[in-house]
Amino acid sequence: MGVLLVTASLSPTITETTLRSLFPHLLTSTSSENLLLCTRLLGQRLECQYSISFQWEDLTKRVTRLECKMDWITPLLRVLGNIQDVARCLENALITPFNLIGELQPGSE
């Protein structure tokens, strides 16, 4: 069995589309705290660490497992300055631990 780990840095910029796609709960909220978070995030460039792990079977030479990981917490903490605001952003975010984005149907992960 072989394993290959690839790491990279991604630098997404938070736009209105990003807010609508990942953090719609912040935009639709009547909470002044959530609206302030939107203002603080808009236009910010996040420096995210990303890794992809490929595992393959030597005999068949086929990938048998693929894992993707992206750290959202550290870059959001750098921008927002405290873990409470990061938690508020991620609490109802439309992103899974597997980095799937959008509204997901139950069992589709």
Q: What are the CA-CA distances from residue 63 to residues 37, 53, 59 (Å)?
A: 40, 10, 11
**pTM for the structure as a whole:** 0.77
Q: Work out the average pLDDT over 37-58.
A: 94
Q: Work out the average pLDDT over 23-35.
A: 90
Each residue's pLDDT tens digit, 81-99: 999 999 999 998 998 666 6
Q: Where are the domains of the chain?
A: 2-91
